Amino acid sequence: MEGLEGPLLTIITASTPLLLAALGELVTERSGVLNLGVEGMMAVGAVCGFAAANLTGMPMLGVLAAILGGMVIAFLFGLLTLGLVTNQVASGLALTLFGLGLSALIGDAFVGVPGPGMPKLYIPGLSDIPLVGRIFFAQDFMTYLAWALVIAVWYFIFRTRGGLVLRAVGDNHVSAHALGYKVIRVRFLAVLFGGACAGLAGGYLSLVYTPQWTPNMTAGRGWIALALVVFAAWLPGRLVVGALLFGAVSYLALYLQGIGVGIPSQFLSMLPYLTTIVVLVVISRNRTLLRINTPACLGQSFVPDR
Amino acid sequence: MKKLLAAAAGAALMVAAAAGSASAADKLKACWVYVGPHNDGGYSEGHDKGRQLVDKELGDKVETSYVESVPEGPDAERVIERLARSGCKIIFTTSFGFMDQTIKVAAKYPDVKFEHATGFKTADNVTTYNARFYQGRYIIGQIAAKMSKTGTAGYIVSVPIPEVIMGINTFMLGAQSINPDFKVKIVWVNSWFDPGKEGDAAKALFDQGADIIVQHTDSPAPLQIAEERGLHGFGQAHDMSSFAPKAQLTAIEDNWGPYYVERVKAVLDGTWKSQQSWEGLKEKMLIMAPYLNMPDDVAAMAKDTEAKITADPLLPFRGKVLKQDGSDAGPIDDGVLLGMNWYVKGIDDKFPQ
């Protein structure tokens, strides 16, 4: 069992940024807004987090800056798609390009500078339990935050009135509007939450995962997060399965190469994507479940008639 | 109002363009094409530092510019052609994947000089240039064999091109010259730059008992993991010791600047000729970062080998080299090296097809 500890720790840290970004996007999409700019928001979050932590020497301020950075970019997206009713797909794609460029610009001075790093949080007592202790109770604080967020988001969406309004807006904005709910305001908040989560995910990359800043360091994780949301049928629980699965298979692909199994590395590199898609498609084969959970107004603009 | 603004902006742009071309007219234009951002903290930044040296030393006669983050493949042709048309007199295309595009554009612009890094196709106006990185790999192989307690190194690589294979083989030959039973575990990440994946690969390799990490990818992430675990590794293309002050043993540093200055000067003097340059420790196109975190005798050994390779560039291959299946590889010269597509004996991994 000793040998399992390293791999399990790696898998959890590898899936945390995906989980965070996907969770934010899940809430955004539940409100009916499709924001394809996750990668861009992550990149800006990563650079803001790194810059703030580096300038102040306080990683926690970095986390805050990462969240704010993601939210500022999301705010821009909200202004465009909700305020000016631009096309969500086009705006989202533009946001990714913009975010990647902007982050490279902001980060110019921080390339090649080592980051302060985030201390691990050991929960006294519990972290001494063999195996389980190190894995569950000796992570960095952002990993705990990610798991707490999963539960909070699930509770919010399915167990609160606010969640019901969010889903109503995403499923049928005309009816929600007729009932007197502020569609645009709800959507704007959801977009901002998505930005905060994506920024946090970016901050995780530049502060915890590999404490450094380099342009394009998100390396496509925003897109994977986007795909996870769809394949998880907009359900937080399945998102966890998807993120962990992706993390596990990515790690396994590298691990198998090290042992020398003789499977072409290109195939192993493809494996995480393939497995995650196949598994999530299979568990989401239930048509009714998909119909119930897919936000019916996803990607559609709404103009309240005044 | 909007129209007025647009008109004003347009006029301003034209003035700026005119001013730019006026000052550029009497200067030689030298241009670079990078595969990554100019400040990627790795490979492309190394080339950009070389460009900056040209600016510094020949700034009164030469104007430099660059295009960054150009994807390898068909898209590069458009970028290179645009540079050629815009008046660049010498164009450095700095990545292997720009090879065919460089040759294609060069055929259309015979008056422009092209220099392609790490490739093997030349023409009357196309030169290739590369550094003998394998020389550094031999030295770090020896250091790894001396420093490793488990007798196993983890090796993170990008894509199986001769340059990379050559590096793995020379590393292994260096290690075997110290410890004939040395083992290397190889992980391909199929990317030159993905800090997360490179870091994960390092973790997987350490989890399997490797205690030294070698990389042929560009981010300092593997070294950071080594630092975190109290193990060791080597920097790639740059001195990365600021990321891993306790973990980095040394680094193979790219040093393109002197070459760029020499070649741009040759264009200025009219002495530029097509050639295939392959320079190493001797010409200082690659230099070794300070030998740190190792006992004095290991550092002394490394310095000794460095001096020997400076005197004899092919030193790593002077002994009998056996291929993976035990057959004799025969004498090894530059040609064999540049087309290397087999592993040396002692590497257990299957050769990537």
Q: At what angle do helices A265-283 and A236-259 cross, to 10 degrees?
A: 160
Check if B262 contacts A (Cβ < 8 Å): no
Q: Which among B226, B236, B169, B235 has a CA at the least distance from the CA of B203?
A: B226
Element (H, E) at A26: helix A2-30
Q: How many residues does chain B have?
A: 353
Q: Encoding tokens for residue A284?
A: 């989401």
Has residue A254 been placed in a domain? no
Has residue A62 been placed in a domain? yes
Report for A55-64, A93-102, B324-333: range of highest mean pLDDT: A93-102
pLDDT greater than 90 at residue A10: no
pLDDT greater than 70 at residue A1: no
pLDDT by residue (tens digit) across A120-176? 666 666 666 666 666 666 677 888 889 999 999 999 999 999 999 999 999 999 999
pLDDT-derived band at A258, boundaries 50, 70, 90: confident
Question: Among the three residues B131, B146, B161, which one is the final residue of a domain in this structure?
Answer: B131
pLDDT by residue (tens digit) across B211-241? 999 999 988 899 999 998 999 999 988 888 8
What's the N-to-C CA distance of chain A in angstroms?
64
| Same domain (yes/no): B227, B94 | no
Has residue B194 been placed in a domain? yes
Between A265 and B50, the more confident residue is B50
Question: Which residue of B195, B210, B350 is in closest CB contact with A262?
Answer: B350
Has residue B41 been placed in a domain? yes
Question: Among the three residues B113, B131, B149, which one is the final residue of a domain in this structure?
Answer: B131
Mean pLDDT of chain B: 89
Q: Is the separation of the CB atoms in B201 and B156 below 8 Å?
A: yes
Has residue A100 been placed in a domain? yes
Q: Is the separation of the CB atoms in B247 and B227 below 8 Å?
A: yes
Phi and psi based region of residue B330 (left: phi greater than 0; alpha: psi -120 to 50; beta: remaining): left
- Domain total in chain B: 2
* pLDDT block averages, 10 residues each, chain B of length 353: 48 44 69 87 88 94 93 90 95 93 95 92 93 95 96 93 92 95 93 87 93 92 92 91 93 94 95 92 94 95 96 91 91 87 89 78
Q: Which residues of A1-36 are buried (b: 16+ CB within 10 A; e: fewer)?
A: eeeebbbbbbbbbbbbbbbbbbbbbbbbbbbbbbbb
Between A114 and B230, the more confident residue is B230
Confidence (pLDDT) at A210? 87
Q: What is the ipTM of this complex?
A: 0.82
| Same domain (yes/no): B139, B244 | yes
Structural domain span for residue B94: 25-131
> Which residues from A are below 8 Å from B210, CB to CB?
258
Question: Which residue of B40, B154, B186 is in closest CB contact with A214?
Answer: B40
Confidence (pLDDT) at B13? 44
Confidence (pLDDT) at A140? 79
Rounded CA-CA distance A220/A40 in Å is: 10
Collapsed DSSP state (helix, strand, coil) of residue B248: strand
Question: Which residue of B154, B221, B350 is in closest CB contact with A210?
Answer: B221
Report CA Rg, chain B. Answer: 22
| Same domain (yes/no): B47, B118 | yes
Confidence (pLDDT) at A137? 64
Question: What CATH code is carried by the domain that includes residue B117?
Answer: 3.40.50.2300
Per the listing, tokens 């042992």 go with A259
How large is the average pLDDT for residues A227-243?
Answer: 91
Alpha helix segments (H runs only) across chain B: 2-24, 43-58, 74-85, 99-108, 133-147, 162-176, 195-207, 221-229, 257-269, 296-311, 334-338
Confidence (pLDDT) at B2? 46
Binding-face residues of B in 19-48 toward A, CB within 8 A: 36-37, 39-42, 45
| Same domain (yes/no): B77, B167 | no
Q: Encoding tokens for residue A102?
A: 């902007």
Confidence (pLDDT) at B14? 45
| Same domain (yes/no): B127, B240 | no
Structural domain span for residue A168: 2-222
| Same domain (yes/no): B117, B229 | no
| Same domain (yes/no): B192, B149 | yes
| Same domain (yes/no): B115, B157 | no
| Same domain (yes/no): B174, B294 | yes
Has residue B248 been placed in a domain? yes
pLDDT by residue (tens digit) across A273-306? 888 888 878 877 788 888 888 899 999 999 887 5
Rounded CA-CA distance B223/A210 in Å is: 10
Question: Which residue of A212, A259, A262 is in closest CB contact with B208?
Answer: A259
Q: Tell me the shortest Cα–Cα distance from B198 to chain A, in angstroms.
A: 10
Q: How many CB pairs under 8 A join A and B?
A: 120
Confidence (pLDDT) at A135? 64
Has residue A203 been placed in a domain? yes
Has residue A251 been placed in a domain? no
> Which residues from B are below 8 Å from A259, CB to CB?
185, 208
Question: Among the three residues B131, B161, B196, which one is the final residue of a domain in this structure?
Answer: B131
A-side interface with B, Cβ within 8 Å? Answer: 3, 6-7, 10, 14, 17, 104, 108, 111-114, 205, 209-212, 214-217, 219, 221, 250-251, 254-255, 257-260, 262, 264-266, 269
| Same domain (yes/no): B151, B108 | no
| Same domain (yes/no): B216, B325 | yes
| Same domain (yes/no): B67, B106 | yes
- Domain total in chain A: 1
Has residue B281 been placed in a domain? no
A210 → chain B, closest CA residue:
B221
Confidence (pLDDT) at A123? 64
